[in-house]
Structure formats: structure tokens, C-alpha cells
């Protein structure tokens, strides 16, 4: 009678257990990995995504989410399209542009949740320039990086406000506000909550800055949305729904307690100025998330006619190769129920 070695006996027991289905199937306990890229650095608004991760909301939905910084919406769209990232946060206009200029791309990203219901794009000038309203921009020198959302959508703003004769100067994003302060240009375009604070960091007082938000001057473009690669969406529809549920819970937490949200950003990037980023987050929420349009349409959702108008405007302003099909860039079928998306109740009165 042979005696089995302990190792061989263990192997046989495991094999028998596996045959009988006694071992837990990894499929039941495995988390779906999700690689997510932001549109920009770890600044205040990044709390909207870092908070649900820190609170364990993604984990509770069986998702293993990694959130990385970005360097512009265009780059985020491209990386999701390439499959380098599964999901991302990007300007809807940049997504529309990609679709229209890359009609044969095999993995075109799709927007599944609107976060910035109103574009944060704005024109900013110093009061001493004499610029007070859009009409004062006629014949002026404007500056912004070539990929800036406000600069690319400028033809829409110019048409809505009958502005002409503007000349543009391009620069690196880090020089935009510096050139305005130096007087090299008369005005800049940028996200209101970014450029205003950048000007303050260069010694300009907020009361000495004129801010002309695009939404307040006839440009009703949507801003940033959560986007998903086509392949990932088809393969993991339930994971996308789970992501949006967890994200919505996190948004409510950030709206209810912005300061706690900034702590999660600081935990990710310890060199940020907490007080500055708290202001940036609050400005972003007020300008783009908790807006009258968002209340009317429902957080996360879009209006069909407004989306169609934007698609037409972006195609014209960006001179895209093909016209933009709004139904191809947007899919609201993965959103949580409307009641679940009522983030406005979390706002402190």
C-alpha cells in the first residue's frame, strides 16, 4: 500500500474539489478593472472622481478603478479611442471633433454621462483694458493654446455676439495668464475656474478681472462628459452602469462637503494648495454642474435639440471633415434613474 506525499495529496484534493465545483469561481468575486483618465491635472474638480474611489464606492460595485491625470480633453479622447484607457473625462466638443474627423476609427468613444452641463469656457480680460462686454472684443488681440476649448469654439461665441477683426496668439498653457498680465494680449479664453485663479496667483485681484462666460453670452454648449471606448462599452455594459452609479454617489458627497472632496485630491497630489483648489472646485460646481440648465435637464442627461444644435455648431466652428451625428456621440442608456441622479438635493442651502 503506497503512501501519498503531502504535496500530492493536496493536489488531488484540490482537483477533486474543483471537479465538484467546491472552489469559488473567480468570475463571481473578480472585480472589473477600469482605467480612467481625467481631462487635466489633479485639481479641485478631480474630487468628483477621486472621492468615489476613496470612499470605496467603485469597489462596492465590483470595479477596480484607477484614475490618472490628463493633459487636455483631446488627448483623453484619443487615448480612450486607442484602448490605452477604458473610460475618461473629456469635453464633448473634443469628442464630436474626433468622431467627425475619424469616421473609420474602430473604437470611437461615446459619451454616457454629462457632468459639466454648461461649458466652463470663458473670455477673461483685465478691467484696465476697458473690455466690459463681448462687443468690446472687436479688433482685439486674444490668446490661448491652440487646443483650448474656448478658442476652438470661438467662432460660435463670435457669431452669437457679432464680433469681428480678432487676431489670435498661441502659447503654452502655462504662459496664457502671464501674457495677459504682461499686456501682450488683450484677453484670453480658458476655463473660468482655471484662468481666474491662475490670474490671482500672478498677483491680479479677482475684482480686477472681467469674466465673460460663454453660456451667459449665447453659447449653450455642453462641457465635459464621461466617455467610454466603444469596445469596452459593448463588452462591459453592466460595469459602465456600475461606474456611473458609484460616480453619482461620489458627486453627491463632494457637493455636500467640498472640503472633504479636496482632501481626497490632496491625498493623491500632496503639493496642491488645498484652499485654492477648494475655491476652484466650488467655482466649477457653480459654473458647470449645479446650473439651471442641469436642473432642467437632470444631472447627467442631455436635451436632444440642444445636443443636435451643438453638433451642428461644432462641425461649422471646427471645420470637421464630416458632419457630426449627435446620436453617435451620445448614449444615455447607461445612466442611473433620474431620482438617483438628483445631486441638487445634496447642495447646502
Nearest alpha carbon to residue 152 among 239, 92, 194: 92
Q: Looking at 161, 191, 217, which one is the last position of a domain?
A: 217
- Left if phi > 0, otherwise alpha if psi is -120 to 50, otherwise beta: which for 165? left
Please check whether residues 342 and 233 belong to one and the same domain: yes
Residue 155 located in a structural domain: yes
Residue 141 located in a structural domain: yes
Rounded to the nearest 10 degrees, the angle between the axes of helix 258-268 and helix 47-54 is 80
Q: Looking at 175, 199, 217, which one is the last position of a domain?
A: 217
- Left if phi > 0, otherwise alpha if psi is -120 to 50, otherwise beta: which for 182? alpha
Q: What does residue 33 show for φ and ψ, rounded to 5 degrees?
A: -75, 135
Residue 1 located in a structural domain: no
Q: How many whole angstroms separate alpha carbon 328 and alpha carbon 48?
A: 26
Residue 10 located in a structural domain: no
Please check whether residues 106 and 228 belong to one and the same domain: yes
Please check whether residues 168 and 288 belong to one and the same domain: no
Q: Looking at 169, 199, 217, which one is the last position of a domain?
A: 217
Residue 14 located in a structural domain: no
Instruction: State the CATH number of the domain containing residue 134.
Output: 3.40.190.10
Please check whether residues 134 and 113 belong to one and the same domain: no
Please check whether residues 334 and 226 belong to one and the same domain: yes
The number of domains in the chain is 2
* DSSP class per residue in 175-217: GHHHHHHHTSSSEEEEEHHHHHHHHHHTT--GGGEEEEEGGGG
CB 152 within 8 A of CB 317: yes
Please check whether residues 189 and 236 belong to one and the same domain: no
Residue 20 located in a structural domain: no
Please check whether residues 112 and 135 belong to one and the same domain: no
The secondary structure element, H or E, covering residue 277 is helix 274-284
Instruction: Sheet containing 63-68: give its strands across.
Output: 63-68, 32-37, 87-91, 224-228, 110-114
**DSSP code at position 133:** S
Its domain, for residue 125, covers 121-217
**Per-residue pLDDT in tens (0 to 9) along the chain, 349 residues:** 445 555 555 445 444 444 444 444 444 469 999 999 999 999 999 999 999 999 999 999 999 999 999 999 999 999 999 999 999 999 999 999 999 999 999 999 999 999 999 999 999 999 999 999 999 999 999 999 999 999 999 999 999 999 999 999 999 999 999 999 999 999 999 999 999 999 999 999 999 999 999 999 999 999 999 999 999 999 999 999 999 999 999 999 999 999 999 999 999 999 999 999 999 999 999 999 999 999 999 999 999 999 999 999 999 999 999 999 999 999 999 999 999 999 999 887 5
- Residue recorded with cell 502659447: 171
Please check whether residues 61 and 109 belong to one and the same domain: yes
Q: Which three cell numbers stand for residue 59?
A: 469597489
Please check whether residues 112 and 235 belong to one and the same domain: yes
CA 49 to chain centre: 10
Amino acid at each position: 500500500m503506497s503512501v501519498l506525499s503531502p504535496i500530492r495529496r493536496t493536489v488531488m484534493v484540490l482537483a477533486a474539489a474543483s471537479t465538484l465545483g467546491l472552489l469559488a469561481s473567480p468570475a463571481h468575486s473578480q472585480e472589473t478593472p477600469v482605467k480612467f483618465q481625467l481631462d487635466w491635472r489633479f485639481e479641485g474638480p478631480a474630487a468628483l472622481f477621486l472621492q468615489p474611489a476613496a470612499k470605496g464606492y467603485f469597489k462596492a460595485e465590483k470595479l477596480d478603478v484607477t484614475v490618472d491625470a490628463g493633459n487636455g480633453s483631446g488627448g483623453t479622447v484619443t487615448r480612450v479611442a486607442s484602448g490605452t484607457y477604458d473610460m475618461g473625462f473629456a469635453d464633448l466638443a473634443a469628442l464630436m471633433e474626433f468622431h467627425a474627423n475619424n469616421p473609420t476609427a474602430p473604437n470611437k468613444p461615446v459619451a454616457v454621462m454629462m457632468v459639466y452641463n454648461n461649458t466652463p469656457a470663458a473670455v477673461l480680460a483685465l478691467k484696465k483694458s476697458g473690455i466690459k462686454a463681448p462687443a468690446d472684443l472687436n479688433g482685439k488681440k486674444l490668446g490661448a493654446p491652440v487646443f483650448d476649448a474656448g478658442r476652438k469654439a470661438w467662432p460660435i461665441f463670435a457669431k452669437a455676439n457679432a464680433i469681428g477683426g480678432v487676431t489670435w496668439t498661441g502659447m503654452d498653457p502655462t504662459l496664457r495668464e502671464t501674457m495677459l498680465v504682461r499686456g501682450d494680449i488683450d484677453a484670453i479664453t480658458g476655463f473660468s475656474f482655471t484662468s481666474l485663479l491662475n490670474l490671482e496667483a500672478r498677483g491680479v485681484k479677482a475684482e480686477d478681472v472681467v469674466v465673460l462666460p460663454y453660456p451667459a453670452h449665447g453659447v449653450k454648449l455642453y462641457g465635459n462628459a464621461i466617455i467610454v471606448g466603444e469596445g469596452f462599452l459593448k463588452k462591459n455594459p453592466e460595469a459602465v452602469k456600475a461606474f456611473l452609479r458609484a460616480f453619482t454617489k461620489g458627486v453627491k458627497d463632494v457637493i455636500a462637503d467640498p472640503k472633504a472632496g479636496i482632501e481626497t485630491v490632496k491625498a493623491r497630489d500632496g503639493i496642491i494648495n488645498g484652499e485654492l483648489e477648494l475655491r476652484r472646485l466650488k467655482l466649477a460646481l457653480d459654473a458647470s454642474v449645479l446650473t439651471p440648465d442641469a436642473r432642467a435637464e437632470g444631472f447627467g442627461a442631455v436635451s436632444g435639440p440642444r445636443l443636435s444644435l451643438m453638433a451642428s455648431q461644432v462641425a461649422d466652428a471646427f471645420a470637421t471633415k464630416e458632419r457630426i451625428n449627435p446620436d453617435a456621440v451620445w448614449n444615455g442608456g447607461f445612466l442611473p434613474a433620474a431620482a438617483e441622479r438628483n445631486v441638487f438635493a445634496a447642495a447646502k442651502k
